[in-house]
Amino acid sequence: MYTLTYESQAIAELTNRDIEVILETAQTFNSQNGITGCLIFYMGKFIQILEGPKETVQELYAGIQKDERHTKVKMFSEDDITERNFPDWGMAYYPIDEDAMGFAEFEQFKRNLMLLADLSKPTNVTAILFWKKMKLLLSLPPDKV
């Protein structure tokens, strides 16, 4: 088994519906191909970790690199693994709707992700780096993201 994690920048035109389509497509593909992981979308940035058969994960990542809904795709870690850190597919994101943004809700979202990171027990360097990168992103003020 194999894992990789990457980050990217969403295009400015990305909508909530686009993100829902990404999630739906990922859930279907991943369940059919033995891939697990976590995709986090926050303030216009994606961070994702993928786990599964090496060739399948690498082919998926090659497709992700070509996806026009984001730019600056950069893998920052990869590992051969014996155990999954994300046995179920997951995705976390905060809706982009400026009118619906509530500060308390926004802060709760960030606290929940930080708690999830603190409670996870990563078993490889790639998973550790995924959570560290996510925590760093969440710690930045919105105008610095």
Interatomic CA distance for residues 106 and 32, integer angstroms: 33
* Confidence (pTM): 0.87
- What are 80's strand-pairing partners? 2
What is the architecture, at CATH level 2, of domain 2-144? 2-Layer Sandwich (3.30)
Residue 125 burial (10 A CB sphere; 0-12, 13-18, 19+) = middle
- Closest by CA to 44, choosing from 139, 117, 137, is 137
SS3 content of the chain, % helix, strand, coil (to 5): 50, 25, 25
Interatomic CA distance for residues 41 and 90, integer angstroms: 11
Q: Is the pLDDT higher at 102 or at 128? A: 128
Across the range 117-136, mean pLDDT stands at 91
pLDDT one-digit tens code per residue, 134-144: 999 888 776 66
pLDDT one-digit tens code per residue, 60-78: 999 999 999 999 999 999 9
Is residue 53 pLDDT above 60, yes or no? Answer: yes
Q: What are the residue boundaries of the structural domains of the chain, listed by start?
A: 2-144
DSSP classification of residue 88: S
